[in-house]
Each structure stands twice: as C-alpha cells, then as structure tokens.
Amino acid sequence: MPLIAEIFEVQKDDFVAAGEASAKIKRTLKKLGVGSEVIRRIAVCAYEVELNLIIHSLGGTIDFSVTQERVTLVVKDVGPGIPNVDLAMREGWSTAPESVRMMGFGAGMGLPNMKRNADEFDIHSEMGVGTEITMKFNIK
Amino acid sequence: MVIRRIAELLDAQVVLGADKLDLDVGAAFSSDMMSDVLAYVTGGTVLLTGMVNEHVIRTAEMVDLECIVFVRGKVPTKEIIDLAEENGMVLMTTAHTLYVTSGILYSNGLEGIGRRE
Ligand SMILES: Nc1ncnc2c1ncn2[C@@H]1O[C@H](COP(=O)(O)OP(=O)(O)OP(=O)(O)O)[C@@H](O)[C@H]1O
Ligand SMILES: [Mg+2]
C-alpha cells in the first residue's frame, strides 16, 4: 500500500508552471522525513522529466508514489515518441530549439542525469504513441 | 567561505537574504546552462550565473543551492526574488563578468566542485 500516490499533469510548452510538480514532490518528501541526499536525487529527476514533458512532449503525467521502502515516478506522455532512444540517452544529444537554450536548457544532459540519479531507470518509447519512463529510488 | 565574504569580495549588492549572510558554502559553480547545474551540482555550493529567470531558482531549489550570484550586473525581477524567498535563498548581483567573478573567489580560496566520476 502506498503512503502517498499523486498524479501531476504537465502541459506542453507550459514554461510558467515548470518545476511546480517537482517542487510539490520535493516538499512532500521533506515532510515525510526522507533523507536529504535521496530527496535531492528524486527532485533532480522529477524536474528533468517535467522539463522534458514541457519541452519535447505533447503533454503527459507524472505519477508519484511513496511506500516505506521506495519512491517511484512513472512518467507517461501522449507523443510524439523518441525516434532513437540510445541516441537520446547520450550526453550532449538534444533536439531542443534555440528558444529553450536561451532559457538555460537543452544541453542534452537530462536523460543521462536521470539514469545516474535513479536507483532504477527504465525508458520505452514508440513513435506516434508516446514515451514512458519509470524511475525508482530506495529510501530505506 | 561565508556568504558575507563572497558579497564583500565581489562588491556585490545583496538583493535577498541579507539575514542569512553567515551561511557557509564549500564550493562554487559557474554556468549559464541550468542543464549543467542539474547534472553537476549538489548542495553547499554557490551558483555564479549570467542567466536570470525563474528556472534558475527552480533549478537551485532542486539541487539544494542556497546562494546565487548574478554576474554582469544582472538584476532579478520581483517574480524571481519572490520564488527565491519562498525557498529561503540568498541572491546577490555583481557588476563583474562570470570569468572575473570566478577568478576573484577562486584566488581567495573558494574551490570548484569536484569532477564528476
Ligand atoms: N518526453 C519526450 N518526448 C519526446 N522526445 C523526448 C522526450 N524526452 C526527451 N526527448 C528527446 O531526447 C533528447 C534528449 O533529452 P535530454 O533530456 O537528455 O536532453 P534535452 O532535454 O534536450 O536537454 P537538457 O535535458 O540538458 O535540458 C531531447 O532533446 C529530445 O529529442
Ligand atoms: Mg531534458
């Protein structure tokens, strides 16, 4: 039984709200008394994936759940999908437009950073369908 | 290095968190790319940046950064300051460039973060 289960909707191009879901996730974990090092890793992954939904996807959801042992983020979007996941996972590979770079993002660091910070990382993507990323963090 | 000393060395104007200048930071990181901040930085670090927008504050929040120095005389807007205040941060602005800001702090003993494994 999860202690907490919450779903955050993230809209395409909604830069104004960027970080709101991740900030809520971070606050919730602080209240639960989870260790600060793992909270930082979870917050970084949540923010990276939230930004990717805003920048690259047509919109999606972050499903956040907490049990005694772990925190899970399941992230689903409604497209467009990633044509080559191996390439997307490489540091420095980005299709972000110039406008996104002007804001300080689009270095192609997000996906590899999520993989490094999560205890388990799983990505599936299908063109025309969408992308699903699952990240798990041990908090015990 | 104590944040107060950072402000003095940089001849910086503290725009938020004047009551938190006794806070100590162990290292500094200079970047205009928030993607790199997310990939390299952990708490106890001061961020030196020429990027001024709300995403800088959000990024700092996620990696537990408590102090941001805006370089090249950039001044944060009220929205940016409000978001930083919610997170209990210290914000300051210096007229120096990113290179000179980094050089002043480094030559006064504030180290960079370690290289990523
Ligand atoms: N949800 C998504 N839907 C479609 N494409 C995606 C999605 N997430 C990532 N991508 C693709 O994978 C690439 C790499 O993503 P990654 O997060 O590593 O870098 P970035 O977002 O481009 O830059 P950064 O994360 O450093 O700001 C993106 O440029 C984009 O082409
Ligand atoms: Mg990204």
Q: Which of residues 60 through 99 in chain B touch A, CB cutoff 8 A?
A: 61-64
Q: Where are the domains of chain B?
A: 3-108
Q: Does B20 touch chain A if contact means CB atoms closer than 8 Å? A: no
* pLDDT number for residue B117: 61
ipTM of this predicted structure: 0.96
The average pLDDT across B70-76 equals 97
Report pLDDT digits (tens) over A94-121.
999 999 999 999 999 999 999 999 999 9
Distance CA B28, CA A32 (A): 30
Identity at B68, one-letter amino acid code: I
**A56: domain range?**
4-138
Candidate from A15, A45, A48, A52 with most ligand 1 atoms within 8 A of CB, to mutate: A52
At residue B40, the 3 state secondary structure works out as: helix
- How close is the Cα of A50 to the center of ligand 1, in Å? 11
CATH code of the domain containing A130: 3.30.565.10
The closest-lying atom of ligand 1 relative to the alpha carbon of residue A53 is 1
Q: Provide Rg for chain A, Cα atoms.
A: 14
pTM here?
0.97
Share of chain A above pLDDT 90, in %: 98
Domain count along chain A: 1
CA dihedral A50, A51, A54, A58 (to 10 degrees): -70
* pLDDT number for residue A138: 98
Contact B53 A103 (CB under 8 A): yes
The DSSP 8-state label assigned to residue A4 in this structure reads E
CB B29 within 8 A of CB B112: yes
Report pLDDT digits (tens) over A57-81.
999 999 999 999 999 999 999 999 9
CB A7 within 8 A of CB A63: yes
Q: Where are the alpha helices (DSSP H) in chain B?
A: 3-9, 34-40, 54-62, 78-86, 98-107
Report pLDDT digits (tens) over B48-61.
999 999 999 999 99
Is the pLDDT assigned to residue B116 strictly greater than 90? no
User: B3-108: which CATH topology?
Assistant: 3.40.1390
Least Cα separation, residue B62 to chain A (angstroms)? 5
The average pLDDT across B110-117 equals 85
Query: Mean pLDDT of all residues in chain B?
Result: 97
